[in-house]
Amino acid sequence: QVVLSRQYGSEGRFTFTSHTPGEHQICLHSNSTRMALFAGGKLRVHLDIQVGEHTNNYPEIAAKDKLTELQLRARQLLDQVEQIQKEQNYQRVRRRRRRRNHR
């Protein structure tokens, strides 16, 4: 299932937040021919992947939602609990898959 597909010219940038737990694959394709790359052309890719609740910009969230310091801290703690639950669910699914594959 393709969650996100983007096309760019010589440069591009995007941010994506997945709301689905589990494994994700990142596939990159170039429309340049192999000969152009071997003839001195360059293809540069920079991936900055962040996972977990620490990817949230809490000062921005606080300003946008007009949260007090206590409300913001509560939001951070709830995000941490949610992240722990997602990780536990992910580990459960991995264990089930491993058991199925070893039968």
Tens-digit pLDDT profile for residues 40-56: 666 677 777 776 656 67
Q: What is the pLDDT of residue 74?
A: 92
pLDDT at 39: 60
Output the DSSP codes for 36-83: HHHTT-----------SGGGS-HHHHHHHHT--HHHHHHHHHHHHHHH
Contact 91, 22 (CB under 8 A): no
Q: Look at residue 41 in the predicted model and tell me its pLDDT.
A: 66
Q: Are 26 and 38 in contact (CB under 8 A)?
A: no
Q: What is the mean pLDDT of residues 45-73?
A: 80
Determine which helix (DSSP H) or strand (DSSP E) holds 97, and give its type and residue range: helix 69-101
